[in-house]
Amino acid sequence: MRLVIAECSVDYQGRLDAHLPRALRLIMVKADGCVAIHADGGAYKPLNWMNAPNTVIEADDHWVVTNPKGERLTIHLHELVSDTNHDLGLDPGLQKDGVEAHLQKLLAERPWVLEDGLSLIRREYPTDIGPVDLLCSDASGGTVAVEVKRRGEIDGVEQLARYLERLNLDSRLAPVRGMFVAQAIAPQARTLADARGLQAIEVDYDGLRDIESDEMTLF
């Protein structure tokens, strides 16, 4: 991971035009090609970002980041404070809490409770940005990615959307649609899921345990 601290201003051109005036910020370039620009506030969310895959062209005083969608992020570097690289190594992935991990297992054994004819292909299906919880096949043979949360929030919807973007690059799987599944889904997360074309489904954890499983689908 490359971490750059610099006085910078930023211009974005794409779905809309946006401008960040000059200020001291952190520019993060991840190994997967994602570029994110952070301020000292605002919690985890960057001020602006470009998801991978990206092309980054560096000049002495600016960077130009572009992607296949035609979006462009221009970072004007007015004063460089720090520029460091760090090898983070392989990440073991998120260790889910007991309820969330068990909910994923219950759904893997009973995928048809989410949709008639749904069957499991694999749990923790790998992508180059992390594993999607369940990869399934629907009754017509289409591919379905299922992300499971104990409580569904906006960041979970964004996570599933990123997984779908990567999965749909694989011609063996595409087109892949998404299901966002949780015991409870926040209204804002449901609205975002609808806007992204994702199904948002609430499930009863206790009720799932009473439904007979089909473990022959697991491998």
Domain boundary among 59, 85, 111: 85
Q: Where are the beta strands (DSSP E) in 153-192?
A: 176-185
Domain boundary among 20, 52, 85: 85
Residues 80 and 119 in one domain: no
- Mean of pLDDT values over 115-144: 94
Residue 68 to residue 190: CA distance in whole angstroms = 28
H/E element, 133: strand 132-137
Residues 152 and 184 in one domain: yes
Residue 145 to residue 164: CA distance in whole angstroms = 7
Q: Is residue 166 part of a domain?
A: yes
Burial of 147 (0-12, 13-18, 19+ CB in 10 A): buried
Residues 60 and 104 in one domain: no
Residue 120 to residue 112: CA distance in whole angstroms = 9
- Mean of pLDDT values over 192-196: 95
Say yes or no to pLDDT of 217 above 80. no
Q: Is residue 165 part of a domain?
A: yes
Residues 136 and 169 in one domain: yes
Residues 71 and 164 in one domain: no
pLDDT tens digits, one per residue of 63-110:
999 998 899 999 999 999 999 999 887 766 655 555 788 899 999 999
pLDDT tens digits, one per residue of 31-65:
888 999 999 887 778 999 888 888 999 999 999 99
Token pair of 121 as six digits: 């292909």
**Confidence at residue 142, expressed as pLDDT on a 0 to 100 scale:** 96
Q: Is residue 92 part of a domain?
A: no
Checking phi first, is residue 70 left (phi over 0); if not, alpha (psi -120 to 50) or beta? left
Q: Residue 186 carries which side chain, given as an amino acid letter?
A: A
Q: 73: closest CA among 86, 63, 83?
A: 63
Residues 53 and 146 in one domain: no
Q: Is residue 93 part of a domain?
A: no
pLDDT tens digits, one per residue of 125-134:
999 899 999 9
Residues 112 and 198 in one domain: yes
Q: Is residue 103 part of a domain?
A: yes
> Which residue carries 């889904």 as its tokens?
185
Q: Is residue 90 part of a domain?
A: no
Residues 80 and 145 in one domain: no
Residue 47 to residue 36: CA distance in whole angstroms = 8
Q: Is residue 125 part of a domain?
A: yes
- What are the residues facing 36 on neighbouring strands? 28, 49
Residues 81 and 102 in one domain: no
Q: Specify the CATH number for the domain of residue 136.
A: 3.40.1350.10
Domain boundary among 26, 53, 85: 85
Q: How many domains does the chain have?
A: 2
Q: Is residue 91 part of a domain?
A: no
Residues 123 and 15 in one domain: no
Residues 112 and 57 in one domain: no
Q: Specify the CATH number for the domain of residue 31.
A: 2.70.180.20
Residues 114 and 147 in one domain: yes
Name the DSSP class of 141.
Answer: S
Compute the mean pLDDT over every residue in the chain, rounded to the nearest whole number: 89
Q: 52: closest CA among 174, 160, 166, 156?
A: 166
Residue 188 to residue 122: CA distance in whole angstroms = 29
Q: Which domain holds residue 119?
A: 98-217
